Structure 1
């Protein structure tokens, strides 16, 4: 009873308040951006999203009830379950093909996107792996660092390539971001990190070289619809009638918002059905057009404060497994926020990544709420000692 009381006292209310602000942004933006799709009931999507938020909050607090060390024992079982679900999407009749990709699993009463849950399962598995390696590690040389990298890649690359084949480049990049963040926190040598960075850059250069010299080989790595998105990103106005259309319309909407925005429900681009998927992948356009630079700044600052609180929790946690968990979640959310906002203003290619806690959708929202639940869980069970950590006691 005393332990439970201490845990409740350590709930990070700042984190919950920031999450509440994002929820308000989400419901307002979804209501504004999706009303055009259901003229008879303009609240259709916002009501469904509100239900997902309620379910997500229940799951979030449910996650906090269980000591996060419990997930250590289940980590590889969850990882295996996630891999099995992704394989079902690809190789069973339950896989749903839509919009040029096969990412969903039809359960009859609803559809789920297993790659979303795989993000969390991968964080659990890598956190357990790194915790075990770090606590048992005796040598701090290049050889041991290479072993760490090899084991992380052995766990992370299978879901990366399976998701890439769906094809879902955005989620595959999130998987890569999680691996990179957790490797960065593993304490491996900066020389190894430089080699990995150089290898990534070399891979990109190689793809560019293949594009100009061996296009047939290039298409083995980059699908036609992904290449179209690159064309639409690099020359959106030249392709404004095709694959650059969405980006051009989004930039026009955000640009027209200026300092204070056109006002709630007053955005020309938002309300005219000119931007496909505006209530999902392009929801930042609603913020930029109707709430302007000031609204967009408040949203970005809210995200910044959310990540700052997570970094503090990761650094103050005296349990390595908890630190690795929160680090992986930071990598998960930061990349999605950066990529989604950047793609709507033309800084990054368009991918099918939702804006965390804002975009309409159940699977992505539940995944992110579980992630916040894990962060709250770690913070609630962090005990501060003057001279030792939990591991050393």
Structure 2
């Protein structure tokens, strides 16, 4: 017997409330971080963040309004559009801070296509995995190899194009989506072991190249990315250049102690000692001014958000919907882990924004669309009193 509920009644208001809390934290942190850049106009970034959130809400509602099953019809065109935009970036992109990642006009409007490509990859992989799930697939290593190979054929082109910009952080997000989708496809432990082993060997090979054939190694990792790895491994050996940002971020987080120094009272957060504190290192603002308690509250909100999303994925009775939500979870979880990890020194600095908190346009809008897709899946999931139905 099916419980009859309207789509509106099935909106996950808990997930929306958690998103609202993150929005409030974002406004506080962005306002506080604006002080060092515009002391005479501390609301400069905040006003723009409100606008970006407004656009994000509209697009989130739009993503909720279309039956997600129709996304399968557009997944391939969107994927093709994403590859086309990445090629445009490679040929005609705007370069800033040593990276060529943007399209548009530097004095008017810039957008970062790689942010939207993350969603397009989720759609394309969800469509492909849904397609192969509609026919019986033997649980053999050979079949797993075919599946993984097909997923890589879809996922590697955007991964490589984004890596060449260079944008290691966003490329790793695409990699996280690929791995999440492979795991959700139900591959055997043997294949999982092969994937983990291959990644481990690949990292080991790069280390060996670095130590023995450095010039050849730089063909794979450019100087900018390598400096970030050096700064991560031993920031105090480079206190005035590549390690400067991380050292001051760690000092700011440590200064927050249990309850923080107070809103807009962070010494490091307000002094201008931490470049890009309103974007990449906004976690430092929260940890310094609200302390361990404030940072823990933020992490708990993220945990509850991802928990709700996982519940939606596993209660969905449409395989395509399950893959959509799973890919979105992989997309967001990695970004949170990487951003907070780099702020506390356990991950290399990659320039990834903290989802829903960092100031920015393309990243925030993309994440809002992702939440809209998750809410869409939950709204259109049929719930049954007895069993799952057919």
Q: Name the counterpart of 2:271.
A: 272
Q: State the 1:16 CA deviation.
A: 0.4
Report SS of the residue matched to 1:136. Answer: coil
CA distance in 1, matches of 2:357, 2:228: 23
Q: Name the counterpart of 1:106.
A: 104
- Distance change in 2, residues 1:13/1:388 (3 Å): closer
Please report the TM-score for the alignment, with normalisation by the length of structure 2: 0.97
CA distance in 1, matches of 2:4, 2:20: 24
- Distance change in 2, residues 1:157/1:4 (3 Å): farther
Q: Name the counterpart of 1:63.
A: 63
Q: Name the counterpart of 1:203.
A: 202
Q: State the 1:42 CA deviation.
A: 1.1
Residues 344-355 of structure 1 aligned to structure 2 (within 5 Å): 344-355=343-354
CA distance in 2, matches of 1:183, 1:107: 38
How many aligned positions are there? Answer: 386
Report SS of the residue matched to 1:97. Answer: strand
Q: State the 1:138 CA deviation.
A: 3.7
Q: State the 1:146 CA deviation.
A: 1.0
Q: State the 1:191 CA deviation.
A: 0.5
Q: Name the counterpart of 2:86.
A: 86
Is 1:296 the counterpart of 2:320? The answer is no
- Distance change in 2, residues 1:91/1:4 (3 Å): farther
Q: Please report the RMSD computed on the Cα atoms of aligned residues, expressed in angstroms.
A: 1.3
Q: Per-residue displacement from partner, 1:184-224 (whole Å, max 9, x unpaired)?
A: 00011110111011000000000000011111111111100
Q: Per-residue displacement from partner, 1:290-345 (whole Å, max 9, x unpaired)?
A: 00000000000000000000000001001000000000000000000000001011
Residues 246-261 of structure 1 aligned to structure 2 (within 5 Å): 246-261=245-260
Q: Per-residue displacement from partner, 1:10-65 (whole Å, max 9, x unpaired)?
A: 00000000001100110000000112211221101000000111111111111111
CA distance in 2, matches of 1:100, 1:211: 22
Q: Name the counterpart of 2:341.
A: 342
Q: State the 1:134 CA deviation.
A: 1.1
Report SS of the residue matched to 1:354. Answer: coil
Unaligned residue ranges in structure 1 (runs of 5+): none
Runs of 4+ in structure 1 deviating by more than 6 angstroms, as ranges, are none
CA distance in 2, matches of 1:316, 1:209: 45
Q: Name the counterpart of 1:74.
A: 74
Q: State the 1:388 CA deviation.
A: 4.4
Is 1:54 the counterpart of 2:49? The answer is no
- Distance change in 2, residues 1:289/1:80 (3 Å): same
CA distance in 1, matches of 2:231, 2:187: 38
CA distance in 1, matches of 2:199, 2:167: 19
Report SS of the residue matched to 1:36. Answer: coil
Moved more, 151-160 or 39-48: 39-48
CA distance in 2, matches of 1:175, 1:42: 35
CA distance in 2, matches of 1:387, 1:258: 50
Q: Name the counterpart of 1:33.
A: 33
CA distance in 2, matches of 1:176, 1:138: 24
CA distance in 2, matches of 1:103, 1:368: 18
Q: State the 1:384 CA deviation.
A: 2.2
Report SS of the residue matched to 1:261. Answer: coil
Moved more, 5-14 or 348-357: 5-14
Q: Name the counterpart of 1:282.
A: 281
Report SS of the residue matched to 1:103. Answer: strand
Q: Name the counterpart of 1:154.
A: 153
Q: State the 1:7 CA deviation.
A: 0.4
CA distance in 2, matches of 1:139, 1:303: 37
Is 1:184 the counterpart of 2:187? The answer is no
Report SS of the residue matched to 1:237. Answer: helix
Unaligned residue ranges in structure 2 (runs of 5+): none
Q: Name the counterpart of 1:121.
A: 120
Please report the TM-score for the alignment, with normalisation by the length of structure 1: 0.96
Q: Name the counterpart of 1:165.
A: 164
Report SS of the residue matched to 2:374. Answer: helix
CA distance in 2, matches of 1:387, 1:295: 42
CA distance in 2, matches of 1:387, 1:291: 46
Q: State the 1:107 CA deviation.
A: 5.3
Moved more, 132-141 or 356-365: 132-141
Q: State the 1:230 CA deviation.
A: 1.0
CA distance in 1, matches of 2:387, 2:338: 41
